[in-house]
Structure 1
Amino acid sequence: MNQEPEFLAKGHDPADPSPWLALYLDRSTPLPDKVKKAWLTDSSCASRQYLLPFLRPLARAFIILIQVVKTFLPRRWSHSRLLHRILAWGLKRFVSPEANWLILRHFHLGAQALAFIAANSPVQITTTPLEPMEIDDLKDELFVKHDLNLFNFVIRLNQALRDAGVEMHAPPTVDFSMLRDPPIRLEDMPQGKLNFLDLQSAIELFTPLYQLMLTDNDFWRAANSLQLDETIGIYAAKLLGAPQHLILVNNSHPLVPMSTLRAGYRLVLHGLSTEMLHSLLMEMKAAQQGGEPPAPIA
């Protein structure tokens, strides 16, 4: 895992500049170097370049086919626990270390983002953090629970705000205490000979399976949860008194759900926006404590 990705090992050639090196060196977005390095290593791999263009249309065709098939299945037909066991098995055996690391990080970052909003909102609200330490922890239906957590949080928060007759606003002192770098190590991820599949290809492959083995209601809720990126971004911006940070959240309006055919691509954007929101909050935490923002880790 200490081997440098090609775009870093090769260096800069002015006659043939690497777009991945440009994105890695660019500091316009608030991602730590270790996260950006893993993200771009995954994005520049062979499976994403050569396999994804074939997988994506096939996966979307299967989504349409499965939707037709499910019209003849019982409405509550669901095998969530089996689904999560298959997903964990596939992640451990076929998905790249970088992709698995980013997936596990996402649960921790999402839990911290909700905890940040809860701690700083003008009303009392509880959260249910999901913080898997290894891939096998996902077997406990964590993907479905992640979606349920998000919708339940938005409902409870806004119900409490309505009952109290208040709006979200910046508190006198912002509490960043719940924010930290997740204790998940890239080198601990599976690194077998078959662990080659990039994040986007894995998501495109798993999305039809997700649709097949969950109820229509669960699948649609999971797809529509991606529209809440902008909602969470607005909450954070109001608490920080800094609406300009919404520039990193761009998934269209939350009141306009998109087709499930693009769920895989939007899920990748969801993961990236969560990483960026967490990075912004970590920088602000460091500034509040009187230190410098976290130093990038190459």
Structure 2
Amino acid sequence: MSKPAADFRYDHHDPEDPSPWLALYLDRSTPLPDHVKTAWLQDSSSKSRQYLLPFLRPLCRALIIVIQVVKTLMPKRWSHSTLLHRLLVWGLKRYVSPQANWLILRHFHLGSQILAFIAANSPVPIDTSPLTPANIDELKDHVFVKHDINLFNFVIRLNQALREAGQEMQAPQSVDFSMLEEPPLALQEMPQGRANVVDLQSAIEFFTPVYQLLLTDNDFWRAANSLQLDETIGIYTAQILQAPQHLILLNNKHPLVPMSTLRAGYRLVLHGLSTEMLHALLMRMKAESLKQSREHSPTERRHP
């Protein structure tokens, strides 16, 4: 096991007053790699998460209700996606913590890789539309909306192709892990201003009513309902890997039962964490697959 980061050192453990953050960091029941877990726990243990979120969450949920009432009086197609993404980028760059920004950018890369993994191992050919923003400014290209659209389009295209071919998702003879890699994103390159202190959960709770206000009802509901496809993507992956036990890590479940948008912010955080865990699991399996290939390679077995 790698040495813990400075904020989670063994010598800070007090048996009479154990740190919950150290316990979560050292726990290996979930497949998060240390550098991701460190960023996640640093963000979760911040003062913003402790003191801002409890006040911000009920306020933003009340705004969701107010905005829903207001939008019943507005034209159905009223939408300002360009303004939305410019506001999101402005807020991320100026107020959101480096760890949160890094995790947000990672999410698009990881989601694209997971869909590519399912597509590559599907019994039918299926195209994907990867989103790989290299920095926060690239999110202006409607990336948040495209992320939700891509997910639904992927599920529709995959299942159309499976139905037409009379096939079911199943384990391939050899699993292809080639598309999986660590995203080329550096935490130290995220904005580091004095005001960049807002944690991931607070930022998401605040941005959710903004997202609702500047998109159509259809776009907002689609975004909220996309979170329940976590189970769908998890099942596809489990069928490919023949490992259904990993579905226990999912929290956004039952896609046939749409949930209220009031908890969309909290569920979005769970969605991000589930994506990180699934990608970490696949990366671990990729490493094991490469190790087994080397062990069975005649070149590797040959003695000098």
Q: Which SS does the other structure have where 2:277 is aligned?
A: helix
Count the aligned residue pairs.
289
CA contact (8 A) 2:230 2:253 kept: no
Question: 1:190-237 CA deviation, whole Å, 9 max, x = no partner?
Answer: 000000000000000000000000000000000000000000000000
Residue 144 (structure 2) pairs with residue 143 (structure 1): yes
Task: Report % sequence identity.
Answer: 76
Q: Which has the larger radius of gyration?
A: 2
Give the drift of 1:245: 1.2
> Are the structure 2 counterparts of residues 221 and 108 from structure 1 closer, same or farther at C-alpha, using a change threshold of 3 Å?
same
Q: Distance in 2 between matches of 1:46 and 1:243?
A: 38
Instruction: State the partner residue of 2:300.
Output: none
> Are the structure 2 counterparts of residues 206 and 62 from structure 1 closer, same or farther at C-alpha, using a change threshold of 3 Å?
same
CA contact (8 A) 1:52 1:201 kept: yes
Residue 75 (structure 2) pairs with residue 58 (structure 1): no
CA contact (8 A) 2:229 2:253 kept: no
Residue 129 (structure 2) pairs with residue 154 (structure 1): no
Instruction: State the partner residue of 1:214.
Output: 215
Q: Which SS does the other structure have where 2:291 is aligned?
A: coil
Q: Distance in 1 between matches of 2:112 and 2:286?
A: 17
Instruction: State the partner residue of 1:166.
Output: 167
CA contact (8 A) 1:51 1:201 kept: yes
Question: 1:267-294 CA deviation, whole Å, 9 max, x = no partner?
Answer: 00000000000001001101111169xx
Q: Distance in 2 between matches of 1:40 and 1:121?
A: 35
TM-score, with length taken from structure 2: 0.93
Q: Distance in 2 between matches of 1:51 and 1:34?
A: 25
Instruction: State the partner residue of 2:194.
Output: 193
CA contact (8 A) 1:132 1:138 kept: yes
Q: Distance in 2 between matches of 1:243 and 1:10?
A: 38
Give the drift of 1:250: 2.1
> Are the structure 2 counterparts of residues 12 and 266 from structure 1 closer, same or farther at C-alpha, using a change threshold of 3 Å?
same
Q: Which SS does the other structure have where 1:195 is aligned?
A: coil
Q: Which SS does the other structure have where 2:12 is aligned?
A: coil
Letter in 2 for 1:213: L
What does residue range 1-298 of structure 1 map to in structure 2 within 5 Å?
6-8=7-9, 11-290=12-291
Q: Which SS does the other structure have where 2:41 is aligned?
A: helix
Letter in 1 for 2:241: L
Q: Distance in 1 between matches of 2:136 and 2:229?
A: 25
Larger displacement relative to structure 2 (245-254 or 127-136): 245-254
> Are the structure 2 counterparts of residues 51 and 137 from structure 1 closer, same or farther at C-alpha, using a change threshold of 3 Å?
same
Q: Unpaired runs of 5+ in structure 1?
A: 293-298
> Are the structure 2 counterparts of residues 273 and 289 from structure 1 closer, same or farther at C-alpha, using a change threshold of 3 Å?
same
CA contact (8 A) 2:33 2:280 kept: yes
Q: Which SS does the other structure have where 1:72 is aligned?
A: coil
Q: Distance in 2 between matches of 1:281 and 1:206?
A: 30
Larger displacement relative to structure 2 (244-253 or 68-77): 244-253
Instruction: State the partner residue of 1:295.
Output: none
Give the drift of 1:7: 4.3
Give the drift of 1:10: 7.0
CA contact (8 A) 1:105 1:182 kept: yes
Give the drift of 1:254: 1.2
Letter in 2 for 1:280: L
Give the drift of 1:249: 1.1
Write out the 4+ residue segments of structure 1 that deviate beyond 4 Å after TM superposition.
4-7
Q: Distance in 1 between matches of 2:69 and 2:78?
A: 14
Q: Unpaired runs of 5+ in structure 2?
A: 294-304
> Are the structure 2 counterparts of residues 225 and 5 from structure 1 closer, same or farther at C-alpha, using a change threshold of 3 Å?
farther
Q: Distance in 1 between matches of 2:84 and 2:202?
A: 18
> Are the structure 2 counterparts of residues 5 and 264 from structure 1 closer, same or farther at C-alpha, using a change threshold of 3 Å?
farther
Instruction: State the partner residue of 2:302.
Output: none
Letter in 1 for 2:30: T
Q: Which SS does the other structure have where 2:62 is aligned?
A: helix
Q: Distance in 1 between matches of 2:58 and 2:82?
A: 27
TM-score, with length taken from structure 1: 0.95
Q: Distance in 1 between matches of 2:7 and 2:162?
A: 50
CA contact (8 A) 2:85 2:140 kept: yes
CA contact (8 A) 1:5 1:41 kept: no
Letter in 1 for 2:120: A
> Are the structure 2 counterparts of residues 9 and 284 from structure 1 closer, same or farther at C-alpha, using a change threshold of 3 Å?
closer
